[in-house]
């Protein structure tokens, strides 16, 4: 039993890192996604093309490969990051690309009559976006954003590849040391707890916005 508690404590220590990376990624990737989406629906052709290339690149290659590139590749040209910074940067850029596409599709799903109504009421493009379009798009992107939020928790396990101590790596260390697979179950339960929290939070959000439609 003592062994079980020790294992759990050790794995939970790994989860601190998972949470830190999760929060850092959310803080940077969501604004990145909003900016990317607004550029994509705007009439800035060149900027929009650049965002196209960005999402193409980051959605089209494995996250693990991107992580290797940031951590092992960039030092070749003299750019060095700590493992955590490398992970946070790569994850933010990768998730920012997905969020860009999710938010873009959310914005573009709003009926064109809404833009027209705002226009004939004299609203500027900025007012139309901030008061009419984005609040409605927000409701529609809650479910796909929740999906990404869940995937992100699980993707954090990839950072073991650059030597960081997350939930899964902590669990695996105990497995190899003690020849028992209990730590995997503990890890699974911790992941489930985290993902359930995310789902619950998004359900609350969805409910809050279900007052209309």
Partner 1 sequence: MMFSKDGVTMDLLNICNINKSYDKNQVLNNVSLNLKKGEVISIIGPSGSGKSTLLRCISGLEHMDSGLIKFNGITIAEANKKFNNNDVINACKKIGMVFQNFNLFPHKTVLNNIIEAPIIVNNINKKDAIDIAKKLLIKVDLLDKISAYPCTLSGGQKQRIAIARCLAMNPELILFDEPTSALDPKLVSEVLKVIKGLADDKISLLVVTHEMQFAREISDKVIFMENGEILETSTPELLFSNPKHTRIKQFLNLD
Q: Which residues bind partner 1 (CB under 8 A)?
A: 111, 113-114, 116-123, 127, 131-132, 135-136, 139, 211-213
Four-residue CA torsion sign, 175, 18, 153, 70: negative
Q: Smaller CB distance to partner 1: residue 117 or 192? A: 117
Closest CB 148 distance from partner 1, rounded Å? 23
Q: Smaller CB distance to partner 1: residue 67 or 137? A: 137
Closest CB 32 distance from partner 1, rounded Å? 25
Closest CB 110 distance from partner 1, rounded Å? 10
- Please state the length of the chain: 213
Q: Smaller CB distance to partner 1: residue 38 or 137? A: 137
Q: Smaller CB distance to partner 1: residue 85 or 127? A: 127
- What is the three-class DSSP state of 80? coil
For helices 167-178 and 2-41, give the axis angle rounded to 10 degrees: 150
Closest CB 143 distance from partner 1, rounded Å? 17
Longest dimension (CA), the chain: 71
**DSSP string for 148-183:** HHHHHHHHGGGGGGGT---HHHHHHHHHHHHT-SHH
């Amino acid at each position: 039993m003592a062994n079980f508690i020790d294992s759990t404590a050790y794995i939970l220590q790994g989860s601190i890192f998972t949470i830190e990376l999760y929060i850092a990624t959310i803080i940077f990737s969501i604004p990145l996604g909003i900016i990317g989406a607004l550029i994509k629906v705007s009439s800035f052709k060149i900027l929009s093309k650049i965002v196209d290339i960005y999402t193409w690149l980051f959605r089209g290659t494995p996250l693990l490969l991107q992580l290797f590139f940031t951590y092992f590749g960039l030092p070749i040209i003299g750019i060095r990051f700590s493992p955590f910074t490398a992970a946070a940067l790569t994850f933010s850029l990768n998730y920012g690309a997905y969020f860009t596409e999710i938010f873009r599709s959310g914005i573009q799903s709003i009926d064109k009559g809404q833009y027209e109504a705002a226009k004939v009421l004299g609203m500027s493009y900025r007012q139309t976006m901030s008061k009419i379009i984005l609040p409605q798009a927000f409701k529609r992107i809650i479910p796909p954003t929740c999906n990404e939020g869940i995937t992100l928790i699980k993707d954090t396990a990839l950072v073991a590849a650059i030597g960081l101590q997350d939930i899964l790596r902590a669990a695996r260390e105990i497995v190899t040391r003690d020849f028992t697979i209990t730590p995997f179950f503990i890890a699974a339960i911790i992941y489930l707890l985290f993902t359930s929290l995310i789902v619950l939070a998004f359900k609350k959000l969805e409910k809050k916005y279900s007052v209309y439609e």
